[in-house]
Amino acid sequence: MSQTTAWVRHPQVVSFPDIRGFSETYGFAGNSGKVNLEGQLLCPAGSRARTVYVFMHPTSTLQLLPMPMALADRGLHVLCAASRYPRNDSALIMEKVAIDLGRWIAHAREVLGYERVVLVGWSGGGSLSLFYQAQAEKPTITHTPAGDAVDLTTAGLSPADGVIFIAAHLSRAETLTEWLDPSVIDELDPDRRDIEFDIYADECPNKAPFSTDFIAAFRARQVARNRRITAWCQEQLERLRARGGAEQERAFVVHRTMCDVRWLDPTIEPSERRPGWSYMGDPRTVNVGPVGLARFCTLRSWLSQWSYDLSNAKGPMNAAKIHRTPVLQIENTADDAVPAAHNPAIWAALATPDKEYHRIVGATHYYIGQPEHLETCMGLILDWSRRKGF
């Protein structure tokens, strides 16, 4: 192991005005006429650096995870930045998260004094980093998929100097779609299911290893379910707008969102992942539990972050819009959260010629109990950073 550096946590706060028709964040975080963002700067006491490594996830806070702390151990300056939706994505709007990230990057440069900013897109932060960088290089978005004005062309988004894409999936919309339970017939009654596609049920006639035809039908039904929910959200918003009055938004539950043939059949996109397991535990339990992806939603949030067709934050789509930023991509081959096909898809889509791809064989999503793989990852980041002048 490399020698570690003693470092401290410096709390950071970014506040800026925000005007909207109704509150979508809980408590003081965003209903006081301002957006109030919290974060932590991890760095050696009294040290100075030209470069800061910024971690941001749409809904998580990352300052306690192994990755940012390991970078701080190596003496790097690390900013773990939260969006306006920390630990609660039920009403999250991806376009507003991009604005939050832009404010953090401005804070890093203008307040903290860093000359260079490297975005570290870990897990769900990977597609966020691609979304942000694509819009920072050439902003085009003026409205959310629901039609609400959120203008990224005038938001002053400043491009990062580099992007690290690590242990990251395609996007929230695309990953959720690959995990939606296609056996659900009635969104209001999850007990009504098509047994032909209920792969977690003992009575299901289709068992692993699954046939090619079954997998294709399974995937098509997952996309169809996503599109049904999207159409319903659009219809409900149109109805609320036409009716007028105080009700402008509606919350709902999406049942059974952790169902993937890959969990049960390791021959599909084979990797070193653990069969019958997911990063949140037994997928059969997670599928019906309270912490599944998109379990609690609003109409606008579904369209922005979960809609397969309408979300602006899909990874390959945004990777194709990044033309001049250096990108380091690291795949963990035993990742129990990121399917094996996702990283190659991002790599193929990246338009920038300055890109590198590395695989850490046997590494899981969080590197828990894998100090040797975490050390390998640190080595890749440090080597790339030196060569790029960061």
pLDDT by residue (tens digit) across 207-235?
Answer: 999 999 999 999 999 999 999 999 999 99
Distances, alpha carbon 312 to alpha carbons 65, 232, 235, 333, in Å: 27, 19, 20, 28
Q: What is the mean pLDDT of the chain?
A: 94
Amino acid at 160: A
- Strand order of the β-sheet with 327-332 is 8-17, 34-43, 77-81, 51-56, 116-122, 162-166, 327-332, 355-360
Q: What is the pLDDT of residues 93-105, one digit of tens each?
A: 999 999 999 999 9
Q: What is the pLDDT of residues 298-354, one digit of tens each?
A: 999 999 999 999 999 999 999 999 999 999 999 999 998 999 999 999 999 999 999
Instruction: For residue 338, give both structure tokens.
Output: 């990121």
- Specify the pLDDT at position 126: 95
- Specify the pLDDT at position 46: 86
Residue 25: pLDDT band (50, 70, 90) is confident
Residue 22: pLDDT band (50, 70, 90) is low
- Specify the pLDDT at position 5: 83
Question: Are 269 and 151 contacting, i.e. CB atoms less than 8 angstroms apart?
Answer: no
Burial class from Cβ neighbours inside 10 Å (0-12, 13-18, 19+) for residue 176 reads buried
Residue 27: pLDDT band (50, 70, 90) is low
Domains of the chain: 8-170+311-388 (3.40.50.1820), 174-306 (no CATH)
HSE, CB side, 13 Å, CA atoms: give it for residue 357: 14
The pairing of strands 34-43 and 8-17 is: antiparallel
What's the whole-model pTM score? 0.95
Q: What is the pLDDT of residues 46-98, one digit of tens each?
A: 889 999 999 999 999 999 889 999 999 999 999 999 999 999 999 999 999 99
